[in-house]
Amino acid sequence: MKRSMYGRYGGQFVPEVLMPALNELEEAYERYRDDPRFLEELAYYMKEFAGRETPLYFARNLSKKYGTKIYLKREDLVHGGAHKLNNTIGQALLAKYMGKKRLIAETGAGQHGTATAMVGANMGFDTEVYMGAKDVQRQHMNVYRMQLMGTVVHSVQSGSKTLKDAINEALRDWVTNVENTHYLIGSVVGPHPYPMIVRDFQSVIGNEVKRQIIEKEGRYPDSIVACAGGGSNAMGIFHPFIENREVKLFPVEAGGCGLKSTKKEALHSASLCAGEDGILQGAHTRVLQDRYGQILESSSVSAGLDYSGVGPELAHLADIGRIKPCNVNDEEALEAFYELSRTEGIIPALESSHAIAYVMKMAQSGELGDLVVVSLSGRGDKDLETVFSLKKKENRRVCL
Ligand SMILES: *Cc1c(COP(=O)(O)O)cnc(C)c1O
């Protein structure tokens, strides 16, 4: 099997002009991934800039209420409020070692753009982020955040003016400027070697959990639950446990609005659950598409889970039965958002609320076992406006 493939998924479906850039990136990664100087610098940024390691927090109140031991991996405490910085630090450092002067990225909700802007400012790159015009309007605070850190934000006017158009523009930029530019992809998606590189940088999450849970419980958990958009926090926490087959792994996708009628609509951000084979962002994976192969726009209450595809390795792990894809809808996620805030004094991101919701839903079934670790991928401060406006809608009994 080719190294760029995960079962039948993955690969490099990009214009020929980009192949040298992908090869250069892969070679650089192979060279530096075990280089002591690179690893020392990576460890420095992870500790001093990102604030690692993050606690594995025993959620005492939630555990009592739901009758199973629940630990939260506190990625919400990483600088910037989510796990995304783990990856942008790693890739920016790699770009520096490769002698690149410029970072580009695309962003949907603006979270990955913001994490890229942070490392861009800190490590001294010229940083430019592509964002659909619609998203620029919807996420103006993140646009301002990026600008504050010196990043140029391009508002993309083509197509549906959302994430997939921003992806196209970023790829176009990369083709033109590949000599001095690193394209910083934000999840375990895109052409090889990105899914591997992002997984490895995010595996710091699972590696810490492995150490911490042995310290606290003397054994591995029965199950690990993580929300999945592209799948980087899920792959990051799952990967170190893949060989430990007694540990069940649950990626939770966004089921969107549970009240809509057709299956596809009801599972509107759930590429693992409802997607079909297709090509997205240069990789073969499971993609939400219509019967003509046109990419469907995803929709979820949580902007960060709004991606029409999912990482190829996750698609493969689902195929071979090593992970068990599941989903919860907007309403259930919102309920979990309130529940964790009230019981533990921790306001979770709406993305992470999907993982919490699944635990709340399944705790009593026995499916998760007695010891559960949940990836709390981000904090909820960014979502307060969304939740606040949903609360008003709720009173009018419309679909969330
Ligand atoms: C972006 C984001 C996600 C989804 O991205 P993955 O690559 O699936 O991890 C999940 N949680 C938070 C807080 C995010 O910002």
What is the Cα–Cα distance from 181 to 189, expressed in whole angstroms?
19
Task: Indicate whether residue 82 lines ligand 1 (CB < 6 A).
Answer: yes
Output the pTM of the full model: 0.94
Q: Helices in 153-231 by DSSP H: which ranges?
A: 163-177, 194-202, 204-217
380 CB near ligand 1 (under 6 Å): no
- Residue with the nearest Cα to atom 14 of ligand 1? 304
Is 230 buried (19+), middle (13-18) or exposed (0-12) by CB count in 10 A? Answer: buried
| Ligand 1 centroid, distance to 17 Cα (angstroms) | 30
Q: In what order do the strands lie in the sheet with 248-254?
A: 56-58, 69-74, 371-376, 223-227, 248-254, 326-328
Backbone region of residue 116 per phi and psi (left: phi > 0; alpha: psi in -120 to 50; beta: other values): alpha
Query: Tell me, what's the pLDDT at 2?
Result: 63
308 is catalytic: no
User: CB of 308 within 8 A of CB of 293?
Assistant: no
Q: What is the pLDDT of residue 270?
A: 76
Q: Which residues pair with 183 in a beta bridge?
A: 104
Atom 5, ligand 1: residue with shortest CA distance: 229
Probe target for ligand 1 pocket from 86, 233, 253, 347, with the most ligand atoms within 8 Å of CB: 233
List the helix and strand counts (H, then E) for the chain. Answer: 17, 14
295: DSSP letter? B
Q: Per DSSP, which regions of the chain are E strands?
A: 5-6, 9-10, 56-58, 69-74, 102-107, 126-132, 152-156, 181-183, 223-227, 248-254, 276-280, 283-287, 326-328, 371-376
83 C-alpha to ligand 1 centroid (Å): 7
Segments in the chain below pLDDT 50:
1, 259-266, 397-400
Q: Given ligand 1 and candidates 54, 145, 300, 351, which is best to mutate, with the most ligand atoms within 8 Å of its CB?
A: 351
Catalytic residue check, 106? yes
43 Rama class: left (phi>0) / alpha (psi -120 to 50) / beta:
alpha
- Measured from the CA of 198, which atom of ligand 1 is nearest? 7
Q: What would the two tokens of residue 278 be?
A: 């297709």
- pLDDT the model gives residue 306: 76
Rounded CA separation 390/243 (Å): 41
Q: What is the pLDDT of residue 257?
A: 66
The set of residues, in sequence order, having a beta carbon less than 8 Å from that of 285 and lying 6+ positions away, is: 9, 10, 189, 271, 275, 277, 278, 279, 309, 310, 311, 312, 315
Calculate how far, in angstroms, residue 361's C-alpha sits from the geometric centre of ligand 1. Answer: 21
- Report the pLDDT value the prediction gives residue 268, as an integer from 0 to 100: 56
Please report the pLDDT score of residue 319 as a whole number. Answer: 95
Query: Is any atom of ligand 1 closer than 6 Å to the C-beta of 107?
Result: no
The two most distant CA atoms of the chain are separated, in Å, by 59
Q: Please identify which residue in the block is written with the tokens 């209420």.
A: 65
Rg (CA), the chain: 20
The Cα–Cα gap between 373 and 69 comes to: 8
- Check pocket membership of 233 for ligand 1, CB cut-off 6 A: yes
For ligand 1, is residue 232 a contact (CB within 6 Å)? yes
Sequence-distant (≥ 6) Cβ neighbours of residue 359 within 8 angstroms: 66, 68, 70, 225, 368, 372, 374
Is 84 a known active-site residue?
A: yes
What is the bridge-based pairing of β-strands 283-287 and 102-107? unpaired
Out of 53, 75, 106, 351, the active site residue is 106
Q: Which residue has the tokens 């994430």?
A: 163
Q: Measuring CA to CA, which residue among 128, 124, 127 is closest to residue 96? A: 124
Of the candidates 69, 73, 84, 96, the residue annotated as catalytic is 84
CA distance linking residue 359 with residue 226, whole number of Å: 10
Check pocket membership of 113 for ligand 1, CB cut-off 6 A.
Answer: no
348 touches ligand 1 (CB under 6 Å): no
378 Cβ closer than 6 Å to some ligand 1 atom: yes
Residues 6+ apart with CB under 8 A from 253: 227, 228, 267, 269, 270, 271, 272, 273, 305, 310, 325, 326, 327, 354
Ligand 1 centre distance from Cα of residue 351 (Å) = 6
Q: How far is the CA of 342 from the centre of ligand 1 (A)?
A: 23
Cβ(229) to ligand 1 under 6 A? Answer: yes
Closest CA to 79 of 49, 57, 47: 49
CB of 227 within 6 A of ligand 1: the answer is yes
Substitution candidate for ligand 1 out of 187, 188, 202, 327 with most atoms within 8 A of CB: 187
Can you give the pLDDT at residue 263? Answer: 47
Q: What is the pLDDT of residue 241?
A: 98
What pLDDT sits at residue 151?
Answer: 98
